[in-house]
Amino acid sequence: MSVRRRNNVRVTGATTGRPVVLVHGFGCDQNMWRLVEPLLAEDHPVVLFDYVGAGRSDLSAWQENRYSSLDGYARDLVEVCEELDLRDAVVVGHSVSAMTGVLAAAAAPERIGALVMVCPSPRYIDEEGYRGGFSAEDIDELLESLESNYLGWSAAMAPVIMGNPDRPELGEELTNSFCATDPDIARVFARTTFLSDSRKDLETVTVPTLILECEQDVIAPREVGAYVHAAVPGSELVTLDAVGHCPQLSAPEATASAIRAFLSSGVR
Amino acid sequence: MSPGGADDAGAEAPDIRPAFSSLLEDSAEDLYESAPCGYLSTLMDGTIAKINATLLGWLGLSREDVVGRKRFSDLLTVGGRLYHETHFAPLLRMQGHLGGVALEMRTAAGPRLPVLVTSTLKRGADGEPLLIRTTVFDATDRRAYEQELLRARRAADEAREQAEADRVQLREALAVLQRSLLPDTLPDLPGVETAGYYHTASPMELGGDFYDLFPLDDTRTAFFLGDVCGKGPQAAALTSITRYTLRAAMIQDADPVDDLRILNRALLERYTGDDPRYCTAVAGVFERVGDTLRVRLASGGHPPALVLRADGTAEYLSTRGGMLVGVLPTAQFVGVSTVLRPGDTLLLYTDGLTEARVGRDRQLYGYDALLSFAAARAPAGSRALVDAVTGLLRYFGDGLDDDTALLAIGVPAAS
Amino acid sequence: MKPLTIVSSRTPAGPLLEVAGDLDHSNAHDLRGAAVGAVLPAGSVLVVDLDELGFCDSSGITALIAVRNHVVAAGAGLVLVAVPETLRRLLHLTGLDQVFELRDSHRLQTN
């Protein structure tokens, strides 16, 4: 199984220029970038992929061990960069993948030359002296919420509920499919995402880094943005006039122009 | 509501028509406010612009608390909010519509309200999203049912996993027990090539075939192969008695006919007449004399041994008349002798091989076919012969439904 | 799988069991039970007619041996008639053709 097929890798955009890798976070798949992708494609080769377990990746390649820590997801990212032999790529990671990008940049410094962290959070759970926005009970609630949706979601989810995700694709019926994964896989990803603590990793970043946060984001509040900005040496923080956790969907132009501005500012 | 509908409804009863249409006109606002489901409209940033009385009632909130002050996600539990941000909102943005999503809302009184939410994006003339319309259904009963379903599924999953684990454990135990009934390896004997093979028909059932081969002294070696009646643990117990009785007998007395008689007595003594337990067996002793092996063997109701000669022929060593071991106190066992010269090989087998079903008609494979098979391969060394027959067993596929044991003893061809 | 049926009756020489259907480990004890249930004075002969017997494996052999042991203990005799070819071959191979008396038809036997 090649990495391209395993991770459903797609390369679009310019044939020359600095490659940009768009990395989806917890919840959905590479489709999250569909509004931003054309805005970057003019000047950059754009790489999209799905983590193993998400979207149209090869579910048979999923192993609980590997994907129970962010390192497993970072390995997917590094392996995609290796497969395409990328050099000096810009990794744009959404949400938890902002941290995946940090881990990948440390593991493959020759391949990753800059980071864009979209609504990052190195730690979701509050503790003494740190406010991540959530308590451990909140995260349990999310896991419950995930579970009830796998059971209660519309008919398109039925094959997943019935434990038969390999049935043939049925076009329209799968409208929600790109946000739908096997419930066991989703549970592991959710746990890994929301229970991880990557604060220490922020200091290790040596590449130019742009942090994008939203005006109002219940998942990564502005205090967290400020924390990341302070922790990543030499980072740049841009606050988008957007609400929610997915500015690439709610404010795609602003998101793309912030990235373009960062890349054209002579970041090396 | 189309006016046509009102016309149709009133056509047959003109006297109630005015009341009916006034009911319809009157109900638009009231229907929104006191519909049996919650209604809610939000700006694109989630701020609630409009909400109906039903939903406010469910949540225990006043309109002033909510409109222009709260976002839709503020009404949700924290877990629901995370779910909303990571799944619901992105999907709605991309699809413009999202139906039947299970969420939980927080009520002022404390308890959570399980709901099913459907949202539609309303766009302006230029296609820009303007607002989100949402309906909210009380899903308390449904959620309880789903949870019951989920609980049942988990219990079923656990039971299945446990059953699978038990199966694996049983299979391992059976494999260990089965191996204990066969020699680990055949001893290395100068000037003799030996090979054994055991085919297990079902990993979940102990088979009843057995073989053994062990030196008696510097020049003589004892061997036997057989098949006990039945399958499973009782057959394994019988195999164990048979194997160790024969071993002990052969160490004491190197006459194979006598050894089968001893086994016969032991089985008759152990098992009663209304629960007869018996086996078929061929037991033998070979003695190295120069570069040949002098073989004496005896059979009790067992298929005849096969010899492949160095000259390319094959023959059965008839032991016709030898009876099942363990059935009759006066049972007769028939002995036969042969000499194996360099290039000759003796093959013992159980009837799984000859009773296999082949071809579309599922014909018995039989003794003639086995003899032709052997003749076509003669001369063959023990290992090569056992490998060839093993290949044949594989070729039988599901036509082979019994355990099968093979034991070959040969004198390597002079090089 | 054809179900096993055993019909008991009497002939001048002794009881007759007519066995039809498939004989395997699941029903082999029925055959022995039928033999035990037959009235067998010393010197009489139990006739087992196997003309309609279908499948028969080693459990069938076990049942026949148990029947024989019971008959012999009662001081009676046993005759198997119309033994199908596969069973005949199995009896031959295991030397049991020396133990069981085999005949073609029980009608001849009664003469």
Q: What is the CA radius of gyration of chain A?
A: 18
Query: Using CA atoms, how far apart are residues A261 and C71, in angstroms rounded to an integer?
Result: 103
A68 flagged as catalytic? no
* Percent of chain C as helix, strand, coil, to the nearest 5: 40, 35, 30
CA B310 – CA B414 distance, rounded (Å): 10
Enter the DSSP assignment of B88. Answer: I
B133 and B216 in one domain? no
Binary contact (B80, A141; C-beta < 8 A): yes
Check whether residue B130 and residue B271 sit in a common domain.
Answer: no
Which architecture characterizes domain A3-122+198-264 according to CATH? 3-Layer(aba) Sandwich (3.40)
Is B234 a domain residue? yes
The answer to whether the peptide bond before residue B379 is cis (omega within 30 degrees of 0) is yes
Which of B278, B299, B330 to substitute to test the interface with C, most C CBs within 10 Å? B278
Q: CATH number of the domain at B116, please.
A: 3.30.450.20
Residue C59's φ and ψ, nearest 5 degrees, are -65, -35
- Using a CB–CB cut-off of 8 Å, the residues of A that contact B are 25-28, 31-32, 34, 95, 134-135, 138-149, 151-154, 175-176, 179, 194, 216-219, 243-246, 249-250
Q: Does B100 touch chain A (CB under 8 A)?
A: yes
Q: Which fold has domain C5-43+53-78+89-110?
A: Transcription Regulator spoIIAA (3.30.750)
Spatial CA neighbour of B198 closest among B409, B37, B406, B344 = B406
Contact B276 C96 (CB under 8 A): no
Instruction: Closest CB to A179: pick one of B90, B142, B147.
Output: B90
Residue B241 maps to a domain? yes
pLDDT tens for each residue of chain B, 415 residues long: 444 444 444 455 556 676 666 666 667 888 899 999 999 999 998 999 999 999 999 999 999 999 999 999 999 988 888 888 888 888 888 888 888 788 889 999 988 898 989 999 999 888 888 999 999 999 888 878 877 887 888 899 999 999 999 999 988 888 888 888 888 899 999 999 999 999 988 877 787 899 999 999 999 999 999 999 887 888 888 999 999 999 999 999 989 999 999 999 999 998 876 778 899 999 999 999 999 999 999 999 999 999 999 999 999 999 999 999 998 899 999 999 999 999 999 999 999 999 898 888 888 899 999 999 999 999 999 999 999 999 999 999 988 888 999 999 999 998 6
Catalytic-role residue among A95, A177, A196, A198: A95
- Tell me if B209 sits within 8 A of B405, measured CB to CB: yes
Q: CA of B229, closest CA in chain C: separation in Å?
A: 6
Among C58, C61, C95, select the one facing B321 at the smallest CB separation: C95
Least confident of A160-174, A212-226, B1-15, B279-293: A160-174
Q: B346 lies in a domain?
A: yes
Residues B190 and B309 in one domain: yes
Q: What are the structural domain ranges in chain C? A: 5-43+53-78+89-110
B350 in the same domain as B202: yes
Provide the residue range defining the domain that includes B117: 35-138
Domain boundaries, chain A: 3-122+198-264
Show residues of chain B in contact with A28, CB under 8 Å: 86-87, 90-91
The maximal CA–CA distance of chain B, rounded, in angstroms, is 124
| Chains A and C are touching, with contact defined as 3 or more CB–CB pairs separated by less than 8 Å | no
Dist. CA B284–CA B256, nearest whole Å: 5
Report yes or no on whether pTM surpasses 0.90.
Answer: no
B377 within some domain: yes
Q: Which residues of C touch B230 (CB under 8 A)?
A: 25, 58-59, 62
Smallest Cβ–Cβ distance between B303 and the set C58, C62, C93 belongs to C93
